[in-house]
């Protein structure tokens, strides 16, 4: 049980930091594709820091990283289900093993 628990903890930490890195990469891609001022708050390419007129649409690379972030962010929502399945499999395995030895 301990290795499985540690694996889940490491998975959670890895996903959390991974999402943070992906968010920074997305911001960098938006900044590099923008020929004007990249507003990190609104995630838009604007004319200047004082002029909020949108200069251009976001690039495909920026949109792809946004989709990747959304996909990876859905994985932690499934962790409770994954843990439940793992614990149920361990309990069933222990019961089957106990019953095989007991009624042999």
CA distance to 7, 30, 37, 45, 101, per residue, from 42 (Å) = 36, 11, 11, 9, 64
Is the pLDDT assigned to residue 49 strictly greater than 90?
Answer: no
Q: Which helix (H) or strand (E) holds 56?
A: strand 54-56
Structure tokens at 52: 């909020």
Is the pLDDT assigned to residue 45 strictly greater than 90?
Answer: no
Give the separation between CA 30 and CA 25, rounded to whole angstroms. 9
Q: Hunting for tokens 């932690």 — which residue is that?
A: 76
| Whole-structure pTM value | 0.67
Q: What is the pLDDT of residues 79-95, one digit of tens each?
A: 888 889 988 999 999 99
């Amino acid at each position: 049980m301990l290795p499985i628990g540690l694996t889940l903890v490491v998975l959670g930490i890895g996903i959390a930091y991974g999402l943070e890195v992906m968010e920074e990469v997305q911001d960098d891609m938006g900044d590099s594709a923008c020929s004007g001022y990249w507003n990190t708050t609104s995630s838009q390419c604007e004319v200047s820091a004082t002029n909020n007129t949108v200069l251009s649409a976001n690039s495909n690379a920026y949109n792809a990283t946004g989709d990747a972030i959304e996909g990876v962010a859905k994985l932690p929502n499934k962790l409770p289900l994954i843990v439940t399945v793992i614990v149920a499999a361990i309990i069933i395995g222990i019961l089957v093993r106990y019953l095989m030895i007991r009624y042999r």
